[in-house]
């Protein structure tokens, strides 16, 4: 039986890696450094996944200048202290390996810049399974998920991958909507950081890695 998907895109934070502890720790440091009150843990968790500059503006009410300052403080702390400590969710390496063995091209589509994203994958020995890695620009100006998905699809096309039946796997509404902007269906994973209502629009919901395996490789 032929596989239903010709290529698969994966989000990173909350889908492949449990990166929230490191991200929220660096966010807390950034707020303290700026002399702002540190949000409670639940509020900090809401920053994980969406484009971070957007969150600085929308959630923290920062202007363009303060957002840029916040990003510089956050990024330096994250790269120095937390990027190497992002554990991978149980069961995910096996799924990525199975997809790779099935011959379905894999791509990463993350709102995280490509360098820290590649560090997380390299540390877990997972880079080998991906044909393309697409992330935000270094200044995070290009970080909307729809733009990252577009870049990943463009890279797939450049290396001759059939993109006619693509699917996105993620844990936030941004993943579902970013894929839908290009006519790509999404599968929502429940072990990430998204609320239940963020599943709306997804064609399937995976409660466990085994569920995801069955949805991707029936």
Choose, from 11, 13, 147, 175, the residue flagged as catalytic.
11
Tokens standing for 143? Answer: 């970080």
The confidence score (pLDDT) of residue 13 equals 94
How many CB atoms are located within 10 Å of the residue 207 CB? Answer: 11
Please state the domain extents for the chain: 7-18+86-216, 20-84
The answer to whether residue 11 is catalytic is: yes
d(CA 30, CA 74): 5
The confidence score (pLDDT) of residue 1 equals 34
Cβ proximity of 176 and 170 under 8 Å: yes
The confidence score (pLDDT) of residue 143 equals 72
Q: State the fold for domain 20-84.
A: DNA polymerase; domain 1 (1.10.150)
d(CA 127, CA 132): 9
Low-confidence ranges of the chain (pLDDT < 70): 1-3, 140-141
pLDDT above 70 coverage of the chain, percent = 97
Strands 7-10 and 106-113: what pairing?
Answer: parallel
Cβ proximity of 133 and 42 under 8 Å: no
d(CA 110, CA 49): 8
Cβ proximity of 152 and 9 under 8 Å: yes
Q: Which CATH architecture has domain 7-18+86-216?
A: 3-Layer(aba) Sandwich (3.40)
Helices first, then strands: H and E counts in the chain: 9, 6
Name the one residue in this structure whose structure tokens are 């990027």. Answer: 83
Domains 7-18+86-216 and 20-84 are alike in CATH topology:
no
């Amino acid at each position: 039986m032929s596989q239903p998907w010709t290529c698969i895109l994966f989000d990173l934070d909350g889908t492949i890696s449990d990166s929230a502890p490191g991200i929220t720790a660096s966010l807390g440091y950034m707020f303290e450094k700026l002399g702002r009150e540190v949000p409670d843990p639940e509020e900090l968790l809401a920053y994980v996944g969406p484009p971070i500059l957007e969150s600085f503006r929308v959630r923290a009410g920062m202007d363009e200048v303060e957002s840029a300052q916040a990003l510089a403080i956050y990024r330096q702390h994250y790269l120095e202290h937390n990027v190497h400590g992002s554990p991978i969710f149980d069961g995910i390496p096996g799924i990525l390996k199975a997809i790779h063995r099935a011959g379905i091209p894999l791509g990463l589509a993350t709102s995280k810049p490509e360098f820290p994203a590649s560090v997380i994958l390299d540390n877990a020995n997972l880079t080998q399974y991906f044909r393309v890695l697409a992330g935000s620009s270094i200044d995070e100006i290009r970080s909307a998920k729809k733009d990252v998905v577009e870049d990943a699809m463009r890279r797939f096309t450049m290396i001759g991958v059939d993109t006619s039946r693509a699917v996105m796997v993620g844990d936030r509404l941004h993943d579902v909507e970013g894929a839908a902007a290009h006519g790509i269906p999404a599968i929502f994973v429940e072990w990430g950081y998204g609320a239940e209502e963020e599943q709306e629009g997804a064609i399937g919901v995976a409660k466990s890695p085994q569920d995801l395996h069955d949805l991707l490789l029936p």
